[in-house]
Chains A and B, each alone.
Chain A
Amino acid sequence: MAEITLNALAHSYADHPSKPEDYAIREMSHVWEQGGAFALLGPSGCGKSTLLNIISGLLKPSNGEVLFDGKRVNELKPEERNIAQVFQFPVVYDTMTVYDNLAFPLRNIGVPEHKVKSKVHEVAEILELSDQLKRKAKGLSADQKQKVSMGRGLVRDDVSAILFDEPLTVIDPQLKWKLRRKLKQIHEQFNITMVYVTHDQLEASTFADKIAVMYNGQIVQFGTPRELFEKPAHTFVGYFIGSPGMNFFEAQLDEQITFGEHVITTSDDMLARLKSMGSKKVTIGIRPEFVHVWDGKNDDAYQVEVDYVEDLGTYKILSFFFNGQLMKARLSEDQQVPSGQIYVSFPEQWTKVYVDEYLVDTDSLTLHSQTKDAQEAHNAN
């Protein structure tokens, strides 16, 4: 069991890094509490796997330190950190039975055989592998193999964290649901710190209590799935979380915020803050889920032109042109499908304003501390 702390951590694959782009991981400090479920979410090449390998000890960071329960572990090898890792492609010892696979980490540290037996049976029971114990691991299906590799972590009493590197990539959709559910139950039952790396926002958000969204080697936002969805701190978070992502458009800031002939309504606080920042250009973001589509004519709403509607089964996506900009709105399955000229409005609460890609937040007077760090790194470019 462990609390994981990243202290001024940075990593570069280059020998003599000089500029921020040389870093696969740009300087970051975070504390991940004991027993939490965390996800590292981002596109490929964002540095999430690098960060995971630094935590597991497969990679040594070039700057800063990693602490487990306050103890520096930079110098410890993976086998000395008491962590377990589940990889993208299932890793099982082909020639051994499922039982021997699960027993392997225990036998390696010389646990007496009767203890091995009870522990293996206990874990197999939880993972629903009890009737597979005598089979060779080679013949298992992909999802069972993933369970076995997870089980090799769970058998150890001393395991401080389980790390997952895109563990559901090779699993069929129907089984993904089952396995994800199992993961979540195990997390609740064992109270182990878990870190889950993925590019899939649904996997990340359903698994994790808190998600670190990574972009260009930085964590651009660290928050609950709900925070990421409702209040994306960076335009990238808005784009990457949500399906489809947030709608963005460039607006003009004068006395008011205008987009073509339309005025975007915001609070007076916001306007005052924006003016103090001195930027004339702002980016407006609104999630498709929060775009309000009116049934009939409405003078307070914007009149827009429908492009097309897609039926995605449980919901529909309406594409429309707002002052020439293609935008999307999410409609529920039962909602009327509009066509031609329709009326939409953006509720003030959900209309977010971004300057230089970062959210302008009027709820708290200063920017989030991590956002500020990232902002500085950004400005340094």
Chain B
Amino acid sequence: MQTKVENNKAWFLVMPVFLIVAFSAIIPLMTVVNYSVQDIFDPYTRYFVGTEWFKQVMLDSRLHEALLRQFIYSFTILAIEVPLGICVALMMPTKGRGASLALILVAIPLLIPWNVVGTIWQIFGRADIGLFGAFMAEIGVDYNYASNTTDAWLTVILMDVWHWTPLVALLCYSGLRAIPEVYYQAARIDQASRWAVFRHIQLPKLTNVLIIGVLLRFMDSFMIYTEPFVLTGGGPGSSTTFLSQSLVQQAIGQFDIGPAAAFSLVYFLIILLVCWVFYTTIMNMQKDK
């Protein structure tokens, strides 16, 4: 609105926000930018290296592999969690005590800390004492997530699906609850099939919560660290070493602060870019409707 400022009180009110943003985002980010263009030997000896670290990072084949792994991982879990979450939401009861019970049951995995989730699955999958592992052994499947790459992937994905599908389901559940009853009544009268009801009433009303769900799950899974670290430690070999873990290996394991900083920035830009592409595509699709 084009109205003139009458006093400066408002500035004091927004100051805290500026300060919080400065401390929580801008200053750390600038520190990382600073590191990414220097070679640091010790706190007093550092050289300006320009884009050296960035070149190195972009050409590093280990990172290429981790990035590829990361994309496969994120898209796989999205492809499973989104449809599964919708299905779970559709099956949840809507009235009475069953509804509250279902809500609590579905929400439980979300309440467990990341490292505990990793531990749970680490034990769960062991062939000697774990329920899942022992069961696999019982039916004669040679399952070992510590030595077999496929098994390791399978377990990591299962774990993520178990942990995070509830989030998508809860989002969809709230979206479904917001659809007025008359829409279902009209559809019944129009003799619409269950699929038509889903396709033309439920899905269109779910698009907004699904956008949020997919964005959240993408960003979260793209930065996944704790659970695979606890479960497989990134192995066997480096088969389940995702981006954040390989970043940590570089920064802390090898103390290559400069390349790690450059890596962080590239990492950050990738997430930003993918989210932006994703968001604009969906928004354009919405507009066409």
A contact residues vs B (CB 8 Å cutoff): 56, 58, 77-79, 83-85, 87-89, 91, 93-96, 104-105, 108-109, 136, 138, 149, 152-153
Contacts and interface: CB of A to CB of B under 8 A. Distances in A.
Interface of B: 180, 182-183, 185-186, 188-193, 196, 200-201, 204, 289
A95 B182 contact: no
Nearest to B190: A105
Given A58-B185, A95-B289, A152 B200 contact: no
Interface of B is mostly: helix
A78 B188 contact: yes
Nearest to A165: B182
A96 B189 contact: no
A108 B189 contact: no
Nearest to A152: B190
Contact of B191 (A87, A88, A93, A109): A109
A84 B189 CA distance: 6
Nearest to B200: A93
Instruction: In the A-B complex, list the 3 residue pairs whose CB atoms are closest, starting with the nearest.
Output: A91-B186, A105-B190, A79-B191
A233 to B, nearest CB: 33
A79 B188 contact: yes
A342 B191 CA distance: 64
Contacts of A153: 189
Contact of A77 (B182, B186, B188, B192): B188
Nearest to B201: A93
18 contacts: A77-B188, A78-B185, A79-B188, A79-B189, A79-B190, A79-B191, A84-B189, A85-B186, A85-B189, A87-B185, A91-B182, A91-B183, A95-B204, A104-B192, A105-B191, A108-B190, A108-B191, A149-B186
A94 to B, nearest CB: 6
B190 A104 contact: yes
Contact of A89 (B180, B188, B289): B180
Contacts of B180: 89
Contacts of B183: 91
A108 B196 contact: yes
A87 B185 CA distance: 10
Contact of B185 (A85, A94, A136): A85
Contacts of A152: 186, 190
Given A79-B191, A104-B192, A109-B191, A87 B200 contact: no
